[in-house]
Structure 1
């Protein structure tokens, strides 16, 4: 059985959180000085445990094990959302380093921009060959508009080759992550063996009415795009529960009204709406519900609504053999205190799963909080989960 130095693992995590520290969390946006400092810091930790680290032209840091194999690939990401938590992503990367230090034949990866400052999962997508130069040319930062090419230049990455997956090198990919929810904490359990990663179906809803004066236009004459948007969203919230699954979610992430002034009736509304589930049949039902609600809105309202699908990803089911290895390890270290569960968030593992067996392990999140600087997990749960991950990796490699 591999022996993990949990004290060193926790010390590494706490040292990493000092880079870009913000309150009790971190602020390490992709390709910021803090992000690049953390990547260089990680490369030193990789060297210390015998890995050969490289940072590539998209910012991926990959530490290669020097044994003959078979190898596992273990990792996550170390950049953060703005003013966010210290564990989201970093936990999975430092767990990989801990497994390498324990003598397991693992390559460790810190993928670039999982958080989507420039495009979402560009590091893991680059590794599996799904990020083209043309896409890199057109991507910009969603917060301040900086072109990705400029960011790579400023970070010292321009012109470096991008590392591609080496066929046959890896038996599978493992990612340890905080749950970012309350299922484990609420049930008093300490480990989650992930069954699959949800698909996210993202839509743009554009509603066109008539911009007009808020005082001079009677209520009967109005074509108010804002009110139409509100009524459509209320209809969706009423009808989605009739077609969803037990862990489906749906979210209106943005409502933009044009021109957005208090004394002007909005002539246009743009809504970003998404839903998530791990079952494709459920996703199809939810899509049909959305389409029906838009159709009903166009029948009732004086404004015209157009629905546009922006991205329709596929669920990624975790590999059964890897799940079984993790489940056996969870029962060994936390008998009766673990569960099978889906991931409601997207992760790099869903892209690696397109090219190799992949699985995930969840640790509890205190209060379910994530993407916020107060995100946290008990140290004893972090230590337990890295031990479960190591034992699961050893079992899978031996299988």
Structure 2
């Protein structure tokens, strides 16, 4: 059956109205608005002839009842706080439209990709990598509320959790907004994702001496905040010598104690991360980071210690899926697409542990995402849908 792009856009608009915030959406995981959107989606899946289930961790899964071979397609439906209307849900409604067009596709909205309650709890659960002990340990990152009572509150406690059988699928597809400016700046309309970057995250603790800002001379001071600032300056100076063209790094947290205007900071905590598609490049960056901390300790009065607190490996796109996306893009928008890595992380990175995966990007206006002003031209949404469907047909042929 042909695609119905009007229906595809109408469903995106309907989802946008569940939790509307300005021109975006506020639909954090397991909020009332999020649960409403999951029930709405399950209804749309059932109308499409899929066997629809909301499982015990919140995944909304629509199983195609017909013969294979099958594809798995989807993304997430919850949002960051006060954020955009397309991040995640585009891939879910795109996957649903594949099924409505008659393709043998299982559709899934993977729960909590936005990490309100943990790291990829939905997709990890689907591949059997999120245990009951993980549920007990999970907390809301904003409030500290435990996950298990929340599941009971929203009516998910006691429901079985779905685990996928990898032998059912030829691969997993995910359409997403770019969340960057590469496509727009190049005047292109489609990005074929070559892989999803890995991330390494570290906590750096600088210890000084808390003291009075007036009575302590500059010669005597052990200012942890000042040492932390200089250390970050050294990182920013040294990383360009070892990074690759698309490497990025971020200090996402700087916390001073006691963080008072009349007290010299006695402690500084930094949370620092970097991303790249190449493990070799990230090894160089990690070695550089550790050498910078070592050099800081040689120079400074306040010692610093470094601890790794998170690591995810890069996931390369499957060659057959990559070829299908490239062929579809060239057929439908010749010369208006490019191959590119994903600098953001996605559920496909988790699914890649057990399935071949591939992703497709459409442009983000101004590169804006995780903000209510996030948007994409409607003609680019329609083109992305068409490329996704053509690639799926090629893979299933």
Q: TM-score range by the shorter chain?
A: over 0.9
Residues 166 and 355 in structure 2, CA contact (< 8 A), matched pair in contact too? no
Aligned to 1:243: 242
Q: Structure 1: 5+ residue runs without aligned partners?
A: none
Report the secondary structure of 2:282's partner residue: helix
Task: Give matches, 1:262-281, under 5 Å.
Answer: 262-281=261-280
CA–CA distance in 1 between the matches of 2:235 and 2:5?
Answer: 47
Task: Give matches, 1:222-371, under 5 Å.
Answer: 222-371=221-370
Task: Give matches, 1:1-399, under 5 Å.
Answer: 3-398=2-397
Residues 27 and 81 in structure 2, CA contact (< 8 A), matched pair in contact too? yes
Q: CA deviation at 1:3?
A: 2.1
1:275-319 alpha-carbon deviations (Å, 9 max, x no partner): 000001000000011001000010011111010001121100000
Runs of 4 or more consecutive aligned structure 1 residues displaced over 4 Å after TM superposition:
none
CA–CA distance in 2 between the matches of 1:248 and 1:210?
Answer: 35
Report the secondary structure of 1:168's partner residue: helix
Report the secondary structure of 1:99's partner residue: helix
The alignment covers a number of residue pairs equal to 397
Length-normalised TM-score, structure 1: 0.99
Q: Structure 2: 5+ residue runs without aligned partners?
A: none
Q: CA deviation at 1:166?
A: 1.7
1:91-148 alpha-carbon deviations (Å, 9 max, x no partner): 0000001101111100000001100111121000010111111111111111111111
Report the secondary structure of 1:350's partner residue: helix
1:179-215 alpha-carbon deviations (Å, 9 max, x no partner): 0000000000000000000001011011111111111
Residues 83 and 370 in structure 2, CA contact (< 8 A), matched pair in contact too? yes
CA–CA distance in 2 between the matches of 1:145 and 1:54?
Answer: 28
CA–CA distance in 1 between the matches of 2:72 and 2:276?
Answer: 26
CA–CA distance in 1 between the matches of 2:132 and 2:227?
Answer: 40
1:221-256 alpha-carbon deviations (Å, 9 max, x no partner): 111110111000011011111110110000000100
Report the secondary structure of 1:205's partner residue: strand
Report the secondary structure of 2:167's partner residue: coil
Report the secondary structure of 1:256's partner residue: strand
CA–CA distance in 2 between the matches of 1:393 and 1:340?
Answer: 18
CA–CA distance in 2 between the matches of 1:321 and 1:309?
Answer: 35
